[in-house]
Amino acid sequence: MQLTLAFVMLTGAVFLAFIRLVRGPSLPDRVVALDLLASLSIGWIAIYAIATNQSIFLDVALVLALLAFLGTVGFAYYIAKGAMSWRQT
């Protein structure tokens, strides 16, 4: 019962973040929404591991946290680089 409520709230959160990902007026807005979607996926995996009683799924959450951090850092790096060349010309 509690886990069903947690799944419902996480689904609503993913839906709201996806609306921001589609609507976001600028690229950094979309990156923030994507980062939030990765965080929500980590929470989803943890709740799913509890619901299925399989602790091995927490490995997936750890790898997903690492990849989300790398992706956000890469996006930030290239946004800053793009701004730099845009200002120079």
Question: C-beta of 37: minimal distance to other proteins in Å?
Answer: 9
CB 41 within 8 A of CB 64: yes
Among candidate residues 56, 52, 51, 37, the one with its CA nearest the CA of residue 6: 51
Least distance in Å: CB of 62 to other proteins? 5
Token pair in block for residue 57? 């799924």
Cβ contacts of 67 within 8 Å, gap of 6 or more: 38
Shortest distance (Å) from residue 19 CB to other proteins: 6
Applying CB under 8 A, which residues contact other proteins? Answer: 2-3, 5-6, 9-10, 12-17, 19-20, 26, 28-29, 31-33, 35-36, 39-40, 42-43, 46-47, 49-50, 55, 58-59, 61-62, 65-66, 69, 72-73, 75-77, 79-80, 82-84, 86-88
SS3 26: coil
